[in-house]
Amino acid sequence: RQEVVGLGIAHIDMLGRCVGIYSGVMTREEMHRVAAEVAGGQHSKGLRSANVPPMAAALTEIMQGAMGKGWTPEFAESWDIVVAKGVGESLLAALNELGSTVSLVVDSWLLTLQKVTSEELGMIFYDTLFEAAPSMRVMFTKNQRMMANKLIEMLSMIVSFSDQIDRMVEQMCFVGYRHVTYGARPSQVPVLGPLLISVLKGVLGEEEWTPEIEDAWMAVWGIASTAMMDAMIAGEAHGSELTRAWDRAVESRSEIAQAIEKQLQDAGIPSEAARGFFNSGEDASRSRYFVPLKSVGKSTKQVAAPHGNGSPAPTKS
């Protein structure tokens, strides 16, 4: 029921904003943009263009009942212009466009994988990438076949979530965070879109690759890559801050180690467990890893340090 209420509020909010067109607050282009935003989120929840007319009819009936005598012929005409010919048409167009985009992306992806294997497609992509940007090779030092398979996993995820934008964005944020640890920079992401299009077009061939397919891929990739870049920018910022904090912590490692040891003892964990947090001497100054204390505290009942004949120590209840 909460989802239904939330959906209703979202559409009423959209309707309220779109009414602003007729008071000069919004342009028609802005109304289409608002409808497209709603369509993107609700399409992933099952909303289709066929649902729009009955939704509009239901909303009209509700408004008639709510307004009573205030529902005059003049108001009914204005309502029809705003809802049926304004918001309704914009929402229909956005849903139809989204459905077409999803179909083109999914169909062309399946066709591509009929022509080459996943691994071959990934290898083609990386070969093309390193030819266009040789400097990026240093970031991909692992087995190239493994990287190729990982790439196709990411692209398959994008395709499978092309009608679930929220989930795609969420997954691409994870991809972005992960690539920060590889040394990738947000400024390198834009080159991947044209490269991807070039590879897919080369595999499908001129006869099967159409401008409509290209537009669909660019639309979906645009959403995915933006989420990835935003996550990378955030990851770089947070990573730099954590690195500075860790460097300061290493300088005071003795005091921090003592504080950790005390808290672990208070949690019922033997003091030996605290000594693994900080290495002594030069190794400690090079360390970049830290186990959050609160994570250890949460797992107190799961920690069993050997004692006596090697059997687990009793844990606190």
pLDDT of residue 22: 53
Q: What separation in angstroms does the CA of 162 have from each of 62, 72, 317? A: 34, 43, 48
pLDDT of residue 120: 93
Size of the chain in residues: 317
pLDDT of residue 180: 76
pLDDT in tens, the chain (317 residues): 444 444 555 556 656 655 555 555 566 677 666 676 666 666 656 666 677 777 778 878 888 888 898 889 988 888 887 777 777 777 777 777 666 777 889 889 999 999 999 999 999 998 898 888 887 777 676 677 888 888 899 999 999 888 778 888 888 888 888 877 777 787 778 888 899 999 999 999 988 999 989 998 998 999 899 998 888 888 777 765 666 666 666 666 677 777 777 787 787 776 665 555 544 444 444 443 334 433 433 433 333 334 444 444 444 44
Tokens for 154, please give them: 């990411």
**Residues 305, 311, 315: CA angle, nearest 5 degrees:** 50
pLDDT of residue 217: 92
Residue type, 172: M
CB-based burial, 299-309: b 16+ in 10 Å, e otherwise: eeeebeeeeee
Tokens for 45, please give them: 């929840």
Tokens for 257, please give them: 């180690």
The SS3 assignment for 306 reads strand
pLDDT of residue 304: 37
Residues pairing with 311 in the sheet: 307
The SS3 assignment for 303 reads coil
Q: Which is nearest to 106 in space by CA: 184, 158, 177, 38?
A: 158
DSSP H helical ranges for the chain: 2-19, 28-43, 52-67, 73-79, 89-115, 118-132, 144-160, 165-181, 192-204, 211-251, 253-266, 281-286, 293-298
